[in-house]
Amino acid sequence: MLIYPRTCGVCNRASVEARRDDPACAECWQKTRLFTEQDALCWKCGALAPAAQVAVAEDKRSGVRCRRCDAEPWTAARAVGLYEGALRAAVLELKREPHVASRLSGLLFEQGRRPPLAAATRIVPVPLHPKREQERGFNQAAVLAHALAARARLPLDERSLIRTSHTSLHRAGMDAHARRESVAEAFVVNRPRLIEGERILLVDDVFTTGATVTACANALITARAEEVFVLTAARAGT
């Protein structure tokens, strides 16, 4: 059991006053780059828009595109913020302890209820390979999906999408293309009747190259999902 206040997981100086802020102090949360409605993001992949498009008016936001994500099979991806500071600490802690502090689940919910993700009808976590899940004792994406489903009052589906082959996603020397190939066949829908016609909100901890969620989205679309949205706690890179 954790005793409060506990030391901040980011600065190691201040203390986390309340369990809801776990695992960072209020100041470290404030310094973390979170995405708000004021940010101009690529409407599709959620990357911060190039400087030229940052000043775009609020009613034109749905026209902002980075163009690098044009070929992705999902409709839109969003993250709570950048993979840094409090969010990075929260993601790392989630790999150790199956608990989502209410600050993070609140932020996840806020992102998920904005358009276009607001159209989602069913929440599906990115599955962990059963062997990995057995080692860790839980799937951190499922823990996030659980916290979100409780707030969003959407059905949580942890069984329809499964991981079929063990892949080492971040093997040294693998470029983005090789990583994409290695996960391409790793996901399959085993209950297509629960996926058909649904607008799936796919939940994971970090969006990095997008290779994993793209492989999941392809499996879901093959099973006739109407649309796939992606929501992650953090976004690495831009």
Binding site for Zn ion (CB under 5 A): 8, 10-11, 14, 25, 28, 42, 44-45, 66, 69
Taking alpha carbons only, the member of 120, 78, 90 closest to residue 231 is 78
As measured in angstroms, the least distance from the Cβ of 7 to Zn ion is: 8
Separation between Cα atoms, residue 132 and residue 161, nearest integer Å: 16
Taking only Cα atoms into account, the Rg of the chain, rounded to an integer number of angstroms, comes to 18
Given the complex with Zn ion, which of 45 and 183 has the nearer CB atom?
Answer: 45
As measured in angstroms, the least distance from the Cβ of 208 to Zn ion is: 14
Given the complex with Zn ion, which of 26 and 162 has the nearer CB atom?
Answer: 26
The answer to whether 183 touches 93, Cβ cutoff 8 Å, is no
As measured in angstroms, the least distance from the Cβ of 32 to Zn ion is: 10
Q: What is the dihedral of CA 112, 144, 42, 35, to 10 degrees?
A: 80
Distance of CA 177 to CAs 6, 58, 209, 235, Å? 42, 35, 10, 19
As measured in angstroms, the least distance from the Cβ of 160 to Zn ion is: 27
Separation between Cα atoms, residue 1 and residue 217, nearest integer Å: 38
Separation between Cα atoms, residue 116 and residue 108, nearest integer Å: 14
Given the complex with Zn ion, which of 37 and 185 has the nearer CB atom?
Answer: 37
As measured in angstroms, the least distance from the Cβ of 15 to Zn ion is: 8
β-pairing verdict for 187-189 and 161-163: antiparallel
Separation between Cα atoms, residue 65 and residue 48, nearest integer Å: 10
As measured in angstroms, the least distance from the Cβ of 45 to Zn ion is: 3
Order of strands across the sheet with 227-235?
A: 76-82, 227-235, 199-207, 122-125
Given the complex with Zn ion, which of 85 and 127 has the nearer CB atom?
Answer: 85
Given the complex with Zn ion, which of 66 and 142 has the nearer CB atom?
Answer: 66
Given the complex with Zn ion, which of 152 and 211 has the nearer CB atom?
Answer: 211
